[in-house]
Amino acid sequence: MNIAELSIMEIRNLIEKMDEVPKDFLQLLQADKRKGVHELARQVEAAQARQARLAAQWEEMTKYERLYRSQGKTHVFGVDEVGRGPLAGPVVACAICLPADFILPGLNDSKKVPPAMREAFYDVIMREAVAVGIGVVTAERIDEINILQATREAMRQAIDDATVSPDLCLIDAVQLPDVPYEQLPIIGGDAKSVSIAAASIVAKVTRDQMMAEYARQYPQYGFDKNAGYGTAEHLQALQTYGPCPIHRRTFTGVIQQA
């Protein structure tokens, strides 16, 4: 192929049709004298470097799943929660079992994934998961038993809600007493296990949808924007209107206004 005979647009279209740009083709781009072709070569290199990083990240984040599946544990669950810190709304947990051949490069802790990508990942995860369970513990219950116990309760609910029973639960940091399944708490697990990361994504999107619905019931607090966290605008609304039924009355920031 004579790259010099192709326009920059033709080269771009050719690259877009390739599943993977061969090394010798990239070298031809780099040897071309046109600046526009050099820019295409730079973009290809950057894309290849990103793919390599994502592949390495995926390999690292599936090490627990591969290890325990090799020991005969078919249903390896990831368990995580969102909503421990907000001043309002429930704590939501997810327990999820992904298929052994599941691949979703870029899957990570929900806090590290942009909102639009979280929504896209959520759709893929929900479509392909072997089993998904959701647990929800209300603000009222959080006030009764404290946030740590509410987190554990939501996680137990999520595990019970799944359509299959786990052979092992990989849990983000928390140990669950009185759960009759083998479990492995992993500190920072949502960035170390794809199963926990997937649970984090599903729990986050689920809770955000709930808070958007609460925003329609209690529009003055901006729950669709702050998800119940103590932003300056939220604190100002608390001072102006006082707490609503989904505020956590035992949390600093709400106590002063209750």
Residue 147: domain span? 73-241
CB 77 within 8 A of CB 196: no
Task: Tell me how far apart the alpha carbons of residues 228 and 210 are, in angstroms, rounded to a whole number.
Answer: 11
- Domain termination residue (choose one: 38, 61, 84): 61
Split at pLDDT 50, 70, 90, the class of 178 is confident
Model pLDDT, residue 258: 55
Angle between helix 194-217 and helix 115-128 axes, rounded to 10 deg: 110
Task: Tell me how far apart the alpha carbons of residues 254 and 22 are, in angstroms, rounded to a whole number.
Answer: 59
Question: 36 with 129, same domain?
Answer: no
Question: 163 with 84, same domain?
Answer: yes
Arithmetic mean of pLDDT, 5-15: 89
Asked if the structure places residue 112 within a domain, the reply is yes
Residue 6 pLDDT more than 80?
Answer: yes
Q: Cα separations (Å) of 215 from 90, 193, 228?
A: 13, 32, 10
Question: 48 with 80, same domain?
Answer: no
Model pLDDT, residue 257: 66
Given phi > 0 = left and psi -120 to 50 = alpha, else beta, which region is 173? left
The percentage of residues in the chain with a pLDDT greater than 70, rounded to a whole number, is: 98
Question: 199 with 119, same domain?
Answer: yes
If one counts the domains in the chain, the total is 2
Asked if the structure places residue 255 within a domain, the reply is no
Arithmetic mean of pLDDT, 56-73: 96
CB 170 within 8 A of CB 184: yes
Cα angle vertex 210, ends 208, 213, to 5°? 110
User: Model confidence over 148-163: pLDDT tens digits?
Assistant: 999 999 999 999 999 9
CB 221 within 8 A of CB 253: no
Arithmetic mean of pLDDT, 24-47: 90
Arithmetic mean of pLDDT, 125-137: 98
Return the residue matching tokens 């102006």: 240
Question: 57 with 77, same domain?
Answer: no
Arithmetic mean of pLDDT, 4-25: 89
Model pLDDT, residue 75: 98
Judging by DSSP bridges, how do beta strands 183-186 and 91-97 pair with one another? unpaired
Asked if the structure places residue 67 within a domain, the reply is no
Residue 129 pLDDT more than 60?
Answer: yes
Model pLDDT, residue 47: 85
The answer, as to whether pTM is greater than 0.75, is yes
Arithmetic mean of pLDDT, 163-170: 97
Arithmetic mean of pLDDT, 46-65: 91
Task: Tell me how far apart the alpha carbons of residues 63 and 69 are, in angstroms, rounded to a whole number.
Answer: 10
Model pLDDT, residue 1: 67
CB 199 within 8 A of CB 118: no
User: Model confidence over 77-122: pLDDT tens digits?
Assistant: 999 999 999 999 999 999 999 999 999 999 998 988 999 999 999 9
Q: Which of 42-51, 176-185, 200-209 has the lowest mean pLDDT?
A: 42-51
Asked if the structure places residue 165 within a domain, the reply is yes
Question: 85 with 40, same domain?
Answer: no
Q: What is the DSSP letter of 169?
A: E
Question: 87 with 163, same domain?
Answer: yes
User: Model confidence over 193-247: pLDDT tens digits?
Assistant: 999 999 999 999 999 999 999 999 999 999 999 999 999 999 999 999 999 999 9
